[in-house]
A and B are shown apart, each in its own frame.
Chain A
């Protein structure tokens, strides 16, 4: 096979596929064939490059050019100008919205500058459907080292020394967990990878599985060797078809290469993995609910203790690790515990991947060393708030977490700091909110989620979240009562204390945290029946400003309930002033954009 002169890397994560990267790929194949250079240029589809806001992303190697928002119609120009003549196409380079500067190399871009890729190291570099790519960059070397040079105890000690803590949210020491299972005597043990990423707005685990599935498989094998397991399960969301497919291919290829199955590397270590698809239940991200689901039952949590490391899947010792945690393991083995300790903050070693989304300029997947401040993530990497609006708060930990606002965004990102300000690390969703977001409405949104996803096994969570939701719902509808906040707090604390599993224990967090930080908004809803952000539909009034109305009748014609009437007052060229009948208005907002003089306002 001739080595190719140029390589085209097309980001093929779910984000870029949704924005049309597959059309770009087809266009490249057609154009290259048309110009007769198909054998000089190789095209690879790689895992998530992280900068979803600017997708589809195309990289050209070896000159390392980073093109953004590439469409099928741009491809011909890339081929004729760049690939044939060697000229970079300026207009497809990333342009900083603030400075209007164009960037040739991704490493210079503010979005990538403060990032450090460890768990995502190979995402966007290797072809996830080609095991030889992974092997070519030291893949499965860590497993080989463990099997030949290290005892299980030594492997556990390295992981413990590295100080890595579970990236699924709780932050428990991974090495210590492995040691529990190692110490339990038993012929049958399991390694389970928790890929049931259910937090809305978190997509790091999916990106790792789509972009670099072998690192997870290798890590599971290392864990199995360390604790003495021979069977592994990946529990993955059915909503992630691409990740499921790539993982399936990766497992098959690993088997073909003898890296899964009997007597791996000719040793007496045997280990194999199968996949189990989730079926759309958020609670299954909780480890004991996940185990019940793998066993084919309703995903209801079990009472702990016994912990899964002692009695887990089919009552056998089981280690359950999150995808991102596992993706770190092979590199920890290869580069050593000291190397990992050198990244991040004391007690919070390594990096964390965040899915940055919401009202931020640079939506995407970012990996940063622990200890970075939220301010840096939002303003340096994220490029600040969209449309020049004012920052209000950042939400972490999804439906289990809370908000970080005001000066708190200068805190360093660690498990402890997040807890201290009433939020949590969670799996890594980071949603930025601006002045237009109503915090009461956001609290209601999260509670709606946890109420729906409550499995119903324990009363505090099943009934408690429903009662809290009812209160929040009436507050957002202008029917709030004076003692509602007191009641929300009392209910919240009780649910936290008495629920069976993590879902219930953390469900009140978004509400308690917003009450804590945005009490004034709650009071405005309850006392003044006003939504300061203008987001709660029932508290918004559409009003016509008499000075601006020209009596053109457009608003009255678009009104679906005919609640805009004329008055005797003359405006404009002998026309009649219009008014909105508040009693009949359904607040659909249809009139607002239609008014030619912007006379309709909300208040």
Chain B
């Protein structure tokens, strides 16, 4: 076994879940969901562990993790700023809001800042189109945002939102 840099209890939690499954057939994606819940992301170490437990090649696990955008191999920031880029948000200026967040937070879309404070992502439609454009920070929804509101949104979430 590889030397682990993670809390062993997290692995125990994952193992308990895998052991409780009625079948391992088709279980990979649900297991990855669970693992991401537990670890927050899916580094190679976790992927290898899952491959071992499910008795499938690591390459298959990696293939699946890299295919689906919901799975991430990098740790996300304390504040996860998600700008909805569904079409209704886009036609109401979401691209400009995303650009404004990039400058204001100093983080490029799709990445996490080096200090681990902020992650910025463009999200597929969240379906709150009545509130377009929509920004979600750690689950808190900010609707009908204008470019000029971006600084206030940042102030608000730093004060109001629980860091992850």
A239 to B58, CA, bound (A): 26
Cα A240 to Cα B69 with chains together (Å): 15
Interface size class of B (residues with CB under 8 A): 35 or more
List A residues 454-474 near B (Cβ within 8 Å). 455
Query: Which residue of B28, B67, B88, B131 has the most chain A CB atoms within 10 A of its CB atom?
Result: B88
- Are B127's CB and A15's CB within 8 A? yes
B128 interfacial contact with A, CB 8 Å: yes
Chain A, residue nearest B86 (CB) = A200
- With an 8 A cutoff between CB atoms, is A171 at the interface? no
Most interface-central of B32, B92, B129 (chain A CB within 10 A): B129
With a cutoff of 8 Å between Cβ atoms, the chain A residues found around residue B69 in the complex are 279-281
Which residues on A sit within 8 Å (CB–CB) of B127?
A: 14-15, 202-203, 206, 240, 355
Instruction: Give A210's nearest chain B residue, CB to CB.
Output: B127
Chain B residues closer than 8 Å to A513, beta-carbon distance:
none
Tell me, in angstroms, the Cα distance from A446 to B27 when the chains sit together.
33
Q: Are B30 and A437 in contact (CB under 8 A)?
A: no
Q: Is B17 an interface residue (CB 8 A)?
A: no
**CB interface residues, A 266-321, toward B, < 8 Å:** 276-282, 293-299
Q: In the complex, which of the residues B70, B90, B125, B132 contacts A238, with contact meaning CB atoms closer than 8 Å?
A: B70
Q: Do residues A18 and B86 form an inter-chain contact, with CB atoms below 8 A?
A: no
Q: Does A215 contact B (CB under 8 A)?
A: no
List chain B residues, Cβ under 8 A from A508.
none
Please state if A279 and B71 are interface contacts (CB–CB under 8 Å).
yes
With A18-B143, A238-B33 known to touch, is A279 a contact of B87 (CB < 8 Å)?
no
Q: Contact: A398 with B87, CB < 8 Å?
A: yes
CA distance A276 to B71 in the complex (A): 15
Q: Does chain B have a CB within 8 A of A359?
A: yes
Q: How far is the CB of B135 from the nearest CB of chain A, in Å?
A: 11
Q: Mark B80-104, 1 if CB is under 8 A from A, else 0.
A: 0000011110111000000000000
Q: Is A429 an interface residue (CB 8 A)?
A: yes
Q: Which A residues lie within 8 Å of B92 (CB)?
A: 358-359
Contact residue among A18, A296, A445 (Cβ-Cβ distance under 8 Å from B128): A18
What CA separation (Å) do A355 and B88 show in the bound complex? 10
In the bound complex, residues from chain B placing their C-beta under 8 Å from that of A174 are none
Q: How many residues of A contact B (CB 8 A)?
A: 49
Closest to B95 in A: A445
A220 within 8 A of B: no
In this assembly, does B158 line the interface, its C-beta being within 8 Å of a C-beta of chain A?
no
Query: Once the chains are docked, how many angstroms separate the CA of A355 from the CA of B69?
Result: 24
Considering the complex, give the chain A residue whose CB is closest to the CB of B28: A296
| A279 and B131 contacting across the interface, CB-CB below 8 Å | no
Instruction: Report if A299-B130 is in contact (Cβ < 8 Å); known contacts: A445-B87, A445-B90.
Output: no
| CA A355 to CA B128, docked complex, whole Å | 11
Q: Tell whether A378 is near chain B: CB-to-CB under 8 Å.
A: no
Q: How far is the CA of A364 from the CA of B86 in the complex (A)?
A: 15
**Among residues 132 to 164 in chain B, which have CB atoms less than 8 Å away from a CB atom of chain A?**
132, 134, 141, 143, 148
Contact A299 B143 (CB under 8 A): no
A532→B53 CA distance, assembly (Å): 58
CB distance from B106 to the nearest CB of A (A): 14
Nearest chain A CB to B68 CB, angstrom units: 3
Q: Which of A279, A429, A433 contacts B68 (CB 8 A)?
A: A279
User: In whole angstroms, what is the CA distance A391 to B130 when docked?
Assistant: 19
The CB with the most chain B CB atoms within 10 A, among A198, A201, A238, is that of: A201
Cβ-based interface call for B13 (8 A): no
Task: Output the least CB separation between B64 and chain A (Å).
Answer: 6
Asked if A298 and B134 make an inter-chain contact with CB atoms under 8 angstroms apart, the answer reads no
Q: Which residues of A contact B91 (CB under 8 A)?
A: 358-359, 431, 433, 437, 442
A395 on interface, CB distance cutoff 8 Å: yes
Flag if B67 contacts A281 (CB, 8 Å).
Answer: yes
In the complex, chain B residues whose CB is within 8 Å of the CB of A331? none
Chain B neighbourhood of A202, CB < 8 A: 125, 127
| Residues of chain B from 34 to 87 with CB closer than 8 A to chain A in the complex | 60, 63-64, 67-71, 85-87
Q: Across the interface, name the chain B residue whose C-beta is closest to A313.
A: B26
Query: Beyond A18-B141, A298-B67, is A201–B86 a contact (Cβ under 8 Å)?
Result: yes
Selected A-B contacts with CB under 8 Å, 7 pairs: A202-B127, A276-B29, A278-B68, A279-B33, A279-B69, A294-B26, A296-B28
Pick the 4 closest A-B CB pairs, nearest first.
Answer: A52-B130, A203-B127, A279-B68, A280-B70
